[in-house]
Amino acid sequence: MSLIEITRQRQRLDELFDKAKSLPDAEVQSHWSRYLCVLVSGFLENSVRITYTEYARKRADHSVADFVENRLRQFQNPKMGTILELAGGFSQEWKQRLEKDTTGRLSESVNSIVGNRHKIAHGESVGLTLHTLIQYYGDALRVVDLLRQQCGL
């Protein structure tokens, strides 16, 4: 996977959000919101993995980059704490900066995406509206942009 994959997934999500916004029925929008939440969580997970893999590919020896990529295959559940821990593995300064930049709404949105995804996957009820998910998605995009900036990508 490459940075192009992040762009491709983002474009697909943007198109799906546009379709969901045009649905006139609130109940159907609610179902779409659950589906989109799962996709946004996957997008966030893939974006973190791809960003740090690409950083390692550009900055490290081939064997080190392979090691990083192999380890990142295990990265799941992209809650903000997990992302911060991963950033700290590259640089404590990155972790501190990212924590400062995401404290509050950005962090809460990322955690809500993953938390709702877990509930959806386990058949639990969620009170997730399309309007709320659109905000969460925008915040997740901001977090991905922050990661990419830190990595110089």
* 105-117 pLDDT per residue, tens: 999 999 999 999 9
What does the chain come to in residues? 153
Q: Are 35 and 47 in contact (CB under 8 A)?
A: no
Instruction: Report the pLDDT value the prediction gives residue 129, as an integer from 0 to 100.
Output: 93
Question: Can you tell me the distance from the alpha carbon of 19 to that of 60, in angstroms, rounded to the nearest whole number?
Answer: 41
Residue 55 clears pLDDT 70, i.e. is over it: yes
Residue 3 has pLDDT above 80, yes or no: no
DSSP for residue 36: H
Per-residue pLDDT band at 1 (split at 50, 70, 90): low
Proportion of the chain above pLDDT 70, given as a percent: 99
Distances (CA, A) of 151 to 51, 59, 111, 117: 7, 10, 22, 27
**137 with 13: CB under 8 angstroms?**
yes
Residue 125: partners with Cβ closer than 8 Å, 6 or more residues away: 119
In the block, which residue shows the tokens 């950033």?
87
Mean pLDDT over all residues of the chain? 95
How confident is the model over 37-64, as a mean pLDDT?
A: 96
14-19 average pLDDT score: 96
- Is pLDDT at 16 greater than 70 in this prediction? yes
